[in-house]
Protein backbone atom coordinates (compact mmCIF):
# COMPACT_ATOMS: atom_id res chain seq x y z
CA UNK A 1 0.00 0.00 0.00
CA UNK A 2 1.65 3.22 -1.19
CA UNK A 3 0.36 6.70 -0.28
CA UNK A 4 0.78 9.45 -2.87
CA UNK A 5 -1.07 12.32 -1.18
CA UNK A 6 -2.74 13.18 2.13
CA UNK A 7 -5.17 16.00 2.87
CA UNK A 8 -5.91 16.81 6.50
CA UNK A 9 -8.82 19.08 7.38
CA UNK A 10 -8.64 20.40 10.92
CA UNK A 11 -5.87 20.38 13.52
CA UNK A 12 -5.25 18.05 16.43
CA UNK A 13 -6.71 19.16 19.74
CA UNK A 14 -6.39 16.38 22.27
CA UNK A 15 -6.94 15.80 25.98
CA UNK A 16 -4.65 13.47 27.87
CA UNK A 17 -6.49 11.02 30.11
CA UNK A 18 -5.59 11.60 33.75
CA UNK A 19 -7.40 10.03 36.67
CA UNK A 20 -7.45 13.17 38.82
CA UNK A 21 -9.12 15.33 36.14
CA UNK A 22 -11.17 12.73 34.27
CA UNK A 23 -14.50 13.59 35.90
CA UNK A 24 -14.08 17.20 34.78
CA UNK A 25 -13.20 16.12 31.22
CA UNK A 26 -16.15 13.73 31.13
CA UNK A 27 -18.48 16.60 32.07
CA UNK A 28 -16.83 18.91 29.50
CA UNK A 29 -17.28 16.48 26.62
CA UNK A 30 -20.89 15.84 27.58
CA UNK A 31 -21.85 19.52 27.85
CA UNK A 32 -19.70 20.96 25.05
CA UNK A 33 -19.95 18.23 22.42
CA UNK A 34 -22.82 16.04 23.56
CA UNK A 35 -20.31 13.17 23.67
CA UNK A 36 -20.64 10.50 26.33
CA UNK A 37 -17.14 9.17 26.94
CA UNK A 38 -16.59 5.99 29.00
CA UNK A 39 -16.12 6.13 32.75
CA UNK A 40 -12.49 5.99 33.85
CA UNK A 41 -12.77 2.47 35.31
CA UNK A 42 -13.99 1.16 31.92
CA UNK A 43 -11.03 2.41 29.89
CA UNK A 44 -8.44 -0.26 30.72
CA UNK A 45 -10.76 -3.09 29.74
CA UNK A 46 -11.92 -1.36 26.55
CA UNK A 47 -8.49 -0.34 25.27
CA UNK A 48 -6.22 -2.99 26.87
CA UNK A 49 -3.75 -0.38 28.09
CA UNK A 50 -3.02 1.96 30.98
CA UNK A 51 -5.65 4.74 30.70
CA UNK A 52 -2.86 7.32 31.08
CA UNK A 53 -1.66 6.29 27.57
CA UNK A 54 -4.97 7.37 26.05
CA UNK A 55 -5.85 10.63 24.31
CA UNK A 56 -9.33 12.04 23.63
CA UNK A 57 -9.98 14.08 20.51
CA UNK A 58 -11.57 17.47 21.24
CA UNK A 59 -12.29 18.55 17.66
CA UNK A 60 -13.43 17.18 14.30
CA UNK A 61 -10.73 15.89 11.96
CA UNK A 62 -10.95 14.69 8.35
CA UNK A 63 -8.38 12.90 6.20
CA UNK A 64 -8.38 12.17 2.47
CA UNK A 65 -5.67 9.64 1.55
CA UNK A 66 -4.80 8.97 -2.08
CA UNK A 67 -3.23 5.59 -2.85
CA UNK A 68 -0.96 4.72 -5.75
CA UNK A 69 -3.48 2.17 -7.06
CA UNK A 70 -6.05 4.96 -7.53
CA UNK A 71 -8.16 4.21 -4.46
CA UNK A 72 -9.11 7.06 -2.12
CA UNK A 73 -9.62 6.62 1.63
CA UNK A 74 -11.82 8.96 3.67
CA UNK A 75 -11.59 9.14 7.46
CA UNK A 76 -13.58 11.40 9.76
CA UNK A 77 -13.13 11.65 13.54
CA UNK A 78 -15.44 13.41 16.01
CA UNK A 79 -14.91 14.92 19.47
CA UNK A 80 -14.80 12.09 21.99
CA UNK A 81 -12.80 9.67 19.83
CA UNK A 82 -10.26 7.87 22.04
CA UNK A 83 -7.03 6.30 20.86
CA UNK A 84 -3.86 4.91 22.40
CA UNK A 85 -1.23 5.99 19.89
CA UNK A 86 -1.37 3.28 17.24
CA UNK A 87 -1.81 0.40 19.70
CA UNK A 88 1.95 0.44 20.26
CA UNK A 89 2.97 -1.85 23.11
CA UNK A 90 4.57 -0.48 26.29
CA UNK A 91 8.03 -1.74 25.31
CA UNK A 92 8.27 0.89 22.54
CA UNK A 93 6.57 3.79 24.31
CA UNK A 94 9.84 4.95 25.88
CA UNK A 95 11.12 5.57 22.32
CA UNK A 96 7.97 6.96 20.68
CA UNK A 97 6.16 9.97 22.13
CA UNK A 98 2.35 9.68 22.32
CA UNK A 99 2.04 13.37 21.44
CA UNK A 100 4.51 13.44 18.54
CA UNK A 101 2.70 15.48 15.87
CA UNK A 102 4.68 13.74 13.09
CA UNK A 103 3.21 10.39 14.14
CA UNK A 104 -0.25 11.51 15.24
CA UNK A 105 -2.15 11.44 11.88
CA UNK A 106 -0.95 7.91 11.13
CA UNK A 107 -1.55 6.85 14.73
CA UNK A 108 -5.18 7.94 14.95
CA UNK A 109 -6.01 6.24 11.63
CA UNK A 110 -4.10 3.11 12.65
CA UNK A 111 -6.07 2.90 15.89
CA UNK A 112 -9.33 3.27 14.00
CA UNK A 113 -8.34 0.47 11.61
CA UNK A 114 -7.09 -1.65 14.50
CA UNK A 115 -10.48 -1.40 16.20
CA UNK A 116 -12.77 -1.81 13.18
CA UNK A 117 -10.69 -4.02 10.83
CA UNK A 118 -11.68 -2.27 7.59
CA UNK A 119 -8.52 -3.73 6.05
CA UNK A 120 -6.08 -6.52 6.81
CA UNK A 121 -3.52 -6.46 9.64
CA UNK A 122 -0.72 -6.02 7.09
CA UNK A 123 -2.45 -3.20 5.18
CA UNK A 124 -3.34 -1.46 8.46
CA UNK A 125 0.34 -1.37 9.46
CA UNK A 126 1.58 -0.52 5.96
CA UNK A 127 -0.76 2.50 5.82
CA UNK A 128 0.53 3.65 9.21
CA UNK A 129 4.14 3.42 7.96
CA UNK A 130 3.32 5.22 4.72
CA UNK A 131 1.51 8.05 6.50
CA UNK A 132 4.45 8.73 8.80
CA UNK A 133 6.90 8.78 5.89
CA UNK A 134 4.62 11.08 3.95
CA UNK A 135 4.47 13.80 6.62
CA UNK A 136 7.44 15.78 5.30
CA UNK A 137 8.95 15.49 1.84
CA UNK A 138 12.59 16.28 2.39
CA UNK A 139 15.45 14.65 0.47
CA UNK A 140 16.84 11.40 1.83
CA UNK A 141 20.03 13.14 3.02
CA UNK A 142 18.10 15.65 5.13
CA UNK A 143 18.56 15.00 8.87
CA UNK A 144 14.93 15.59 9.76
CA UNK A 145 13.71 13.26 7.03
CA UNK A 146 16.08 10.53 8.19
CA UNK A 147 14.78 10.98 11.74
CA UNK A 148 11.16 10.71 10.59
CA UNK A 149 11.91 7.59 8.56
CA UNK A 150 13.65 6.05 11.56
CA UNK A 151 10.61 6.73 13.74
CA UNK A 152 8.41 5.28 11.00
CA UNK A 153 10.51 2.12 10.94
CA UNK A 154 10.43 1.75 14.75
CA UNK A 155 6.67 2.38 14.91
CA UNK A 156 5.99 -0.03 12.05
CA UNK A 157 7.96 -2.82 13.71
CA UNK A 158 6.21 -2.14 17.02
CA UNK A 159 2.71 -2.54 15.57
CA UNK A 160 3.73 -5.46 13.32
CA UNK A 161 5.26 -7.48 16.15
CA UNK A 162 3.71 -10.58 17.68
CA UNK A 163 2.33 -8.32 20.41
CA UNK A 164 0.61 -6.20 17.75
CA UNK A 165 -0.89 -9.33 16.22
CA UNK A 166 -2.12 -10.44 19.63
CA UNK A 167 -3.92 -7.15 20.27
CA UNK A 168 -5.35 -7.21 16.74
CA UNK A 169 -7.03 -10.53 17.50
CA UNK A 170 -8.02 -9.46 21.02
CA UNK A 171 -10.10 -6.49 19.82
CA UNK A 172 -12.78 -5.66 22.40
CA UNK A 173 -16.37 -5.42 21.18
CA UNK A 174 -17.04 -2.35 23.34
CA UNK A 175 -14.03 -0.61 21.81
CA UNK A 176 -15.32 -1.46 18.34
CA UNK A 177 -18.76 -0.05 19.13
CA UNK A 178 -17.29 3.10 20.66
CA UNK A 179 -14.95 3.67 17.71
CA UNK A 180 -17.80 3.35 15.21
CA UNK A 181 -19.77 5.93 17.18
CA UNK A 182 -17.02 8.56 16.95
CA UNK A 183 -15.52 7.97 13.48
CA UNK A 184 -16.41 7.18 9.88
CA UNK A 185 -14.56 5.52 7.01
CA UNK A 186 -15.21 5.26 3.26
CA UNK A 187 -13.08 3.77 0.49
CA UNK A 188 -13.63 4.79 -3.13
CA UNK A 189 -12.10 2.27 -5.55
CA UNK A 190 -10.11 3.33 -8.60
CA UNK A 191 -12.33 4.13 -11.58
CA UNK A 192 -15.24 5.38 -9.47
CA UNK A 193 -16.37 8.95 -10.08
CA UNK A 194 -14.88 10.61 -7.01
CA UNK A 195 -14.89 14.38 -7.61
CA UNK A 196 -18.33 14.95 -6.07
CA UNK A 197 -17.57 12.64 -3.13
CA UNK A 198 -14.31 14.45 -2.36
CA UNK A 199 -15.85 17.92 -2.60
CA UNK A 200 -18.76 16.88 -0.38
CA UNK A 201 -16.44 15.30 2.21
CA UNK A 202 -14.17 18.36 2.37
CA UNK A 203 -17.04 20.75 3.20
For CA atoms 162, 91, 54, 160, the dihedral sign is: negative
Mean pLDDT, residues 76-83: 95
pLDDT band of residue 200 (cuts 50, 70, 90) is low
What is the secondary structure of 157-170 as a DSSP string?
HHHHSHHHHHHHHH
**What is the average pLDDT value for the chain, to the nearest integer?**
82
pLDDT tens-digit series, residues 143-189: 666 666 777 777 777 777 676 677 677 766 888 899 999 999 999 88
Domain positions in the chain:
3-202
Long-range contacts of 122-130 (CB under 8 A, 24+ apart): 122/160, 123/1, 124/159, 124/168, 125/156, 125/159, 125/160, 125/164, 126/1, 127/1, 127/3, 127/65, 127/73, 128/86, 128/155, 128/156, 128/159, 129/153, 129/155, 129/156, 130/1, 130/2, 130/3, 130/106
Q: What is the pTM of this model?
A: 0.83
Which long-range contacts link 40-43 to residues 24+ away (Cβ below 8 Å)? 42/174, 43/17, 43/82
Strands 3-9 and 72-77: what pairing?
unpaired
The pLDDT of residue 88 is: 55
Q: How confident is the model at residue 49 (pLDDT cuts 50, 70, 90)?
A: confident
Amino acid sequence: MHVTKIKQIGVFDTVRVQHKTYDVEEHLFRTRFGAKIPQYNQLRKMFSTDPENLRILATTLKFVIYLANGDILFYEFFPGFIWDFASIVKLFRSILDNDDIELMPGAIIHDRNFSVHVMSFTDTNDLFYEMIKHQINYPWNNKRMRRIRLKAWIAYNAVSSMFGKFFWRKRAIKRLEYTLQFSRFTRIPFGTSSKFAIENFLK
